[in-house]
Copies of this chain bind each other. A is one copy, B any other.
């Protein structure tokens, strides 16, 4: 069984055929049981029960999908909250609610930053229940971004390569990661990032699991790779440090041992899933 990172799961039924049917969309938006996600401070509100909060649909602008038969919408947001605020609370979410939070945050955030046509500069308008923006001036159609990121554990002789970014809490180490670029396979991106950030060459890449990461719209693609050597050249513009940890050290970190040599990534991060999968 592949592991289940946080934010994974099916979320709502996206009912995508409805998006291209304005009459069906209007009918759903007008129903008495149509609900709209509650936001505060630019983020979906997480209740004390760990669940998202819904209210009667007042501005059913973005169609999130159906929960059973119940239509779920989201209003457009002028601005979405910053990543730091979201990180502070997202771990409180029930896992089953997390993919809905991710879809709503990424979609509303994309609209808030893409009000104009990149092709001609004129104001564009949300269409298809918010799953696209149309430019009335040049007719270009723009779709919400999903930015693929590779995130990977490199292994050498039973040890694991982890690194820390400058903004991490003290002593946290995690998997290295980077955006996939145009013209690259996932495997080429893993090899490039590990060489750029740590100076290692690798021989094999194995896919493990994926995770939507709505800060703002990444698709984390988790892999393991086998390093051909253990000499590191750390890119200090990207990382504070990168080093090899033994299996015993990783076990200590994941079990919360106060003497562990590093603090692991939080349970919401696919890097944590990769570490748990590697140990298993």
A65 to B104, CA, bound (A): 37
A227 to chain B, nearest CB (A): 17
Contact among B9, B114, B146 with A147 in the assembled complex (CB-CB below 8 Å): B146
Among listed A153-161, A184-192, A242-250, A253-261, interface-contacting one: A184-192
Residue from B118, B185, B209 within 8 A of A116 (CB atoms): B118
1/0 per residue, CB under 8 A from B, across A116-146: the answer is: 1111111100000001000000001011111
Contact at B182–A211, with CB atoms within 8 Å? no
Q: Tell me the bound Cα distance from A14 to B191 in angstroms.
A: 12
Which one of B17, B179, B183, B237 contacts A237 once the chains associate, using CB atoms below 8 Å? B17
Q: What is the minimal beta-carbon distance from A45 to any residue of chain B, in angstroms?
A: 17
Residues of B within 8 A of A186 (CB): 210, 219, 221
Q: Are A103 and B217 in contact, CB atoms less than 8 angstroms apart?
A: no
Question: With A8-B187, A118-B117 known to touch, is A182 a contact of B221 (CB < 8 Å)?
Answer: no
| A115 and B119 form a contact (CB under 8 A) | yes
Using known A-B contacts A11-B188, A148-B219, A184-B99, determine if residue A196 contacts B116 with beta carbons closer than 8 Å: no
Given B20, B113, B221, which contacts A140 in the complex, CB threshold below 8 Å? B113
- Chain B residues whose C-beta falls within 8 Å of the C-beta of A8 in the assembled complex: 185, 187-188
* Bound complex: CA A217 to CA B102 (Å): 23
State the oligomeric state as a number of copies.
2
Using known A-B contacts A10-B188, A122-B121, determine if residue A196 contacts B113 with beta carbons closer than 8 Å.
no
Query: A257: shortest Cβ distance to chain B, in Å?
Result: 31
Contact of A182 among B107, B115, B148 (CB under 8 A): B107
Question: A187 is contacted by which of B11, B182, B187, B210 (Cβ under 8 Å)?
Answer: B210
Say yes or no for A106: interface residue by CB 8 A criterion.
Answer: yes
Chain A contact patch, size range? 35 or more
Nearest chain B residue, comparing its CB with the CB of A235: B17
| A87 contacts across to B, CB distance below 8 A | none
Q: Report chain B residues within 8 Å CB of A122.
A: 121
Please name 12 further chain A to chain B contacts, defined as beta carbons within 8 Å, in addition to the given A114-B118, A185-B211, sorted by A numbering.
Answer: A7-B183, A16-B196, A99-B183, A102-B183, A103-B182, A107-B182, A117-B118, A146-B179, A180-B219, A182-B212, A183-B212, A221-B221
> Nearest 4 pairs between A and B by C-beta?
A103-B183, A116-B121, A106-B182, A207-B207
- Chain A residues near B (Cβ < 8 Å): 2, 5, 7-11, 14, 16-17, 20, 99-100, 102-104, 106-107, 110, 113-123, 131, 140, 142-148, 179-188, 191-192, 196, 205, 207, 209-212, 214, 217, 219, 221, 235, 237
